[in-house]
Amino acid sequence: MNPTKIKLHKSSNTLELSYTDTSAETAQEISYTLPAEYLRISSPSAEVRGHSPDQAVLQVGKSRVKLVGIEGVGHYAVKLEFDDGHDSGLYTWNYLYDLSVNQQQHWADYLEQLNAAKQSRDPHTSIVQFV
């Protein structure tokens, strides 16, 4: 589903996406707010996703990453730029819609993966194990 509006909120470090819900009797606009960290760890780039699921790289220490730019790509995607230098990966309309409507589940899955890997969202925290 294509967004009807995309807004970068630098003050809150979020991306707001609005969609028209035509499933109701009268069309309604629904908005989703996606934090920069969530977008960064969900990047569709090969650097993050790999070329297959077993090549995916868990993103750690991204809690303070900032979303600094957005650029339209054709009529099907946007390219996001983050202050950690990451700017690859095209966020297609379908992918952004999935990130929006399934944000709670995707985030829970990410936190579970971090926990299993004994890693942190905080860029200044290293998990040290003493044996």
Ordered structural domains, the chain, with CATH: 37-116 (3.30.2020.30)
| pLDDT tens profile 96-124 | 999 999 999 999 999 999 999 999 999 87
- Return the axis-axis angle of helices 93-101 and 103-116, rounded to nearest 10°: 80
SS3 of 116, please? helix
**Mean pLDDT of the residues in the chain:** 92
How far is it, in rounded angstroms, from Cα 121 to Cα 5? 29
Q: Can you give the pLDDT at residue 126?
A: 56
In whole angstroms, how far apart are CA 93 and each of 1, 74, 115, 121, 126? 6, 11, 30, 27, 35
Tokens of 13: 């470090």
Element spanning 97, H or E: helix 93-101
Buried b (16+ CB within 10 A) or exposed e, 77-89: bbebebeeebeeb
Q: Are 65 and 85 in contact (CB under 8 A)?
A: no
In tens, the pLDDT along 29-48 reads 999 999 999 999 999 999 99
- Backbone dihedral region of 13: left (phi > 0), alpha (psi from -120 to 50 degrees) or beta? left
Tokens of 1: 């589903």
Contact between 11 and 2 under an 8 Å Cβ cutoff? The reply is no
Q: Is the pLDDT confidence value at 22 over 90? A: no
For residue 77, pLDDT beyond 90:
yes
